[in-house]
Amino acid sequence: MTPTEMQQKDRQNPLQGEQSCEVVLASASRARATMLSQAGVVCRLQPANVDEDAVKTELRASGSAVAAVAEALAGAKAAAVSHNNAGAVVIGADQMLECEERWFDKPRDRAGAAETLRALSGRDHRLISAAVVVRDGQRLWQHTDHATLSMRRLGDDFIERYLDAIGDAACSSVGAYQLEGLGAQLFERVQGDFFTVLGLPLLPLLGFLRTQGVLAE
C-alpha cells in the first residue's frame, strides 16, 4: 500500500488496520451490519445459502446442545460465502433462543409473534449468539456467548398493543423483540452482554479482527 493510499484509508476510518482485505458479513441482518459499522468495521453483506431448518433438525436429532447448533450455523454461513470471496475475511453469525429446552425460530407472522411472547412471558430464556470467521475456506476463529433474559408477565392486551407498535419488526428477530427499542419494556432483568443479546459477540470479534490487522491495535 502506497503512502497516499494509507492516508486516504486513514481519513475514511482512522481505526482501520494495515490489512486491506475485504470484510464480508455472511448475513442479511441489518442489525449485525449496523453493529459492525458503528464499531468501525467496514463490511459488505452477502446472505448465505444455508438450509438452517435442515441443520437444526439434524443436529437436534443427534443430541447437539443449542450452543453447538448456533456455532454450526454460523460456521456454515461463513464457509458458504467464503467459497466465492477469495481473500476476504468472512464473518458468519447466528443466534438461538432456548426457553425450558424449547428452541424458538423467528415468527413467520403476527400470530406467531404473539405465540412466542406468550410462551416467554413470565419466564427466563437464553439467547445464544455465535460468530465464526473464515478466510479462503479455512476457519480462523469462533466464539459463542449467551445472555439470560427475564421477561415480565405480559397480558394479552399489552401483547397486542406492543405488536401494533413495532409492526413487521416482530418477525425480524427470534424472540419477537428488539431490546434496543420498545422490546426493553418486556423485561425485568437482563444478565449478559448487550451485543450478545443483539445477535453478535461483538467485543471478542473486534479483538480477533485486531489480531488480523483489519482494525488498528
Which positions are annotated as active-site residues? Answer: 94
d(CA 53, CA 6): 44
| CA 199 to chain CA mean position, Å | 3
Question: Contact, 91 vs 79, CB < 8 A?
Answer: no
Question: Contact, 70 vs 129, CB < 8 A?
Answer: yes
| CA 102 to chain CA mean position, Å | 20
Nearest of 146, 142, 201, 197 to residue 174 by alpha carbon: 197
Which position has the grid cell 438450509?
A: 51
Q: Which residues contact 163 (CB under 8 A, 6 or more apart)?
A: 110, 113, 114, 117, 170, 176
62 phi-psi bin (left φ>0, alpha ψ -120 to 50, beta other): alpha
Question: Contact, 200 vs 35, CB < 8 A?
Answer: yes
